[in-house]
């Protein structure tokens, strides 16, 4: 039996509107299941502000978790504040607090938040199947890269003063329980740019292969970096010459997201955030598959694959689209 442990760290990070990277050492006592981040502060505008896309979310350029153990170092989590906010929204059925629309000349109290979630079953608060056994590591660090106020919020920003608070949701295993062989879950981003044509284009490095792929959170943007659901008409995923998913209409994939992630009541428009959709290789509502030897984690095994063995084909409506993904992968 794993005993739950919740704690907000006394160590915080302070953001003052400049581009900087801040690293916080995380405690290495227990099983880390979730890392909650709360971003609270004040944005002061000296005049009417023209906002960037996803203001405040883009103040946080990247959230990374780096682990060192047994002589090796790994980045196991690397996602932007913008993408992680909407990724969390899919898993939780709604987004966290987001106060980011102020444009008038004044001091504005604002807030938002994220979760780095190391669970296979996002609906189960007791899932420690891929929790990080931090006590086996020599170092575990949370690294957050912040962008400037101009890039992260908009024009006419006089100052920003924010505090990032870090809360851990952990498990304390009994002495008889061994989590040293827990599979490793990684959540990593990658960005590619389409060529100058429209129609089908193959992306043979879109997927990270070599382990179990659970899902890829797809973001499509215009060449100017504006999220848009109209950038692609459909997509195909193929292994060699075998299509695993064939010419999936983007709007149909959105409808699938509404059904699978129960997002219909909380998102705008097509019950989804513009430009985002999920390529699923696993059942998010029943993520463990029963086998003769017990439960196993659902997903697409790419063990033994080489780069180019799993290909994403996008039928593009526009030239030079920006294509980005967050891939959730399980190793071991």
Q: Is residue 266 over pLDDT 70?
A: no
> DSSP states of 267-298 as a string?
SSTTTS-TTEEEEESS-TTS-EEEETTEEEE-
Confidence of residue 261 (pLDDT cuts 50, 70, 90): confident
Q: Is residue 163 over pLDDT 80?
A: yes
Average pLDDT over residues 248-265: 83
Q: Is residue 270 over pLDDT 50?
A: no
Long-range contacts of 8-13, Cβ-Cβ distance < 8 Å, separation of 24 or more: 8/165, 8/166, 8/167, 8/168, 9/165, 9/166, 9/167, 9/168, 11/166, 12/163, 12/164, 12/165, 12/166, 13/144, 13/163, 13/164, 13/166
The residue ranking higher by pLDDT, 183 or 265, is 183
**pLDDT tens digit sequence for 191-246:** 999 999 999 999 999 999 999 999 999 999 999 999 999 999 999 999 988 899 99
Average pLDDT over residues 87-105: 89
Residue pair 159/14 in contact by the 8 Å Cβ criterion: no
Mean of per-residue pLDDT scores for the chain: 94
**C-alpha separations of 181 from 14, 136, 139, 161, 256 in Å:** 36, 11, 18, 42, 34
Residue 212's nearest CA partner among 313, 289, 134, 117 is 289
Residue pair 190/327 in contact by the 8 Å Cβ criterion: yes
The residue ranking higher by pLDDT, 258 or 50, is 50
Main-chain phi, psi angles of 88, to 5 degrees:
-60, -35
Average pLDDT over residues 282-308: 93
Distance CA(14)–CA(312), nearest Å, equals 40
Q: Is residue 288 over pLDDT 50?
A: yes
């Amino acid at each position: 039996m794993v005993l739950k442990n919740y704690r907000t760290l006394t160590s915080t990070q302070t953001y003052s509107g400049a581009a900087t990277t801040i690293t916080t050492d995380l405690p290495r006592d227990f099983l880390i299941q979730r890392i909650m981040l709360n971003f609270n502060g004040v944005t002061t505008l000296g005049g009417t502000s023209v906002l960037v896309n996803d203001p405040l979310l883009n103040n946080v350029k990247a959230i990374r978790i780096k682990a060192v153990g047994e002589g090796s170092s790994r980045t196991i989590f690397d996602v932007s504040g913008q993408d992680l906010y909407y990724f969390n929204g899919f898993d939780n059925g709604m987004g966290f607090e987001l106060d980011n629309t102020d444009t008038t000349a004044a001091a504005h109290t604002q807030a938002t938040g994220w979760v780095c979630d190391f669970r296979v079953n996002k609906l189960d608060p007791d899932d420690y199947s891929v929790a990080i056994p931090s006590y086996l590591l020599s170092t575990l660090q949370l690294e957050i890269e912040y962008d400037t106020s101009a890039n992260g919020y908009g024009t006419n920003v006089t100052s920003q003063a924010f505090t990032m608070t870090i809360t851990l949701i952990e498990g304390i295993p009994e002495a008889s329980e061994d989590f040293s062989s827990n599979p490793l879950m990684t959540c990593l981003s990658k960005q590619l740019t389409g060529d100058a044509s429209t129609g089908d284009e193959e992306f043979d490095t879109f997927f990270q292969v070599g382990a179990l792929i659970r899902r890829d959170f797809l973001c499509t943007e215009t060449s100017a970096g504006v999220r848009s659901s109209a950038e692609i008409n459909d997509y195909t995923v193929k292994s060699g010459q075998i299509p695993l998913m064939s010419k999936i209409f983007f709007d149909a994939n959105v409808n699938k997201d509404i059904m699978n992630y129960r997002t219909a009541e909380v998102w705008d428009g097509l019950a989804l955030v513009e430009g985002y959709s999920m390529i699923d290789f696993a059942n998010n509502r029943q993520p463990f598959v029963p086998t003769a030897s017990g439960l196993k984690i659902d997903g697409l095994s790419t063990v033994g694959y080489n780069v180019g063995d799993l290909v994403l084909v996008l039928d593009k409506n526009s030239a030079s689209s920006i294509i980005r993904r967050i891939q959730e992968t399980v190793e071991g």
